[in-house]
Amino acid sequence: MTNINTSDYELLQRVLKRDSKALEALYDKYSPLLYTLIKRIVKDEKLAEEVLADVFVIIWQKTQLYNFDYKNVFSWIVLLTKNKAVDTLRRKNNAESPEYSDQYENAFIIPTIYDYNEFGFEEAYSKSEQLKSAVSKLTEAQRYVIQLAFFEGLTESEIASKLKIPLPTVKSKIRVALNTLKEKMNSEEL
């Protein structure tokens, strides 16, 4: 039985031990948020549902790849979801994608670097309005490159090609946008 107060970390430890009720609890908690993220990236309801199912299959099969020295399950699941959705979108739009295999999934879908602080689901949810406000204060160009990079899954080179601007300009715009977001999220002016 899953207690409502069971932490994500404890649930993931139980998933590692093949506890399907723990996976179900994570699904119940995160599926609405993850579905919204996936749909924003792939822009197709049926495909978003497939990606969401794939994400939880990956969690079930690859929990051992999570670094249990850190307790930020939220960041790991969100990054895994973003990686899977972006990869799915790229594969849908590009016939020349590399073969999808266990090795590919381990290298490109499973997060290996993520924010190791204790920032979790509840804190992220509580800061959603602050983030929306910070994003709204970016310039239109900054918002657009962030959209292309994070929600459409374009590489910096692909963004440069799409916008017909030099690659260093794209890198600079993304870096400035992310720094601006960070500053605005850390400021009290929001």
pLDDT of residue 146: 83
How confident is the prediction along the chain (190 residues), in pLDDT tens digits per residue? 555 567 999 999 999 999 999 999 999 999 999 999 999 899 999 999 999 999 999 999 999 999 888 878 888 998 899 999 999 988 888 767 889 999 999 998 998 765 444 455 555 555 667 777 777 888 888 888 888 887 777 778 888 998 999 989 988 888 888 888 778 777 744 4
pLDDT of residue 126: 58
State the burial class of residue 154 (Cβ atoms within 10 Å of its Cβ: 0-12, 13-18, 19+): buried
Report yes or no: 144 and 98 within 8 Å, Cβ to Cβ: no
Distance CA 151, CA 139 (A): 17
| Nearest alpha carbon to residue 121 among 18, 16, 11, 42 | 11
Q: Which pLDDT score, from 0 to 100, does residue 93 have?
A: 83
Class of residue 171 by CB neighbours under 10 A (exposed 0-12, middle 13-18, buried 19+): middle
Return the pLDDT at 6.
78
Give exposure, 57-71, as e/b (b: 16+ Cβ within 10 Å).
ebbbeebebbeeeeb
Kindly report the pTM of this predicted structure: 0.71
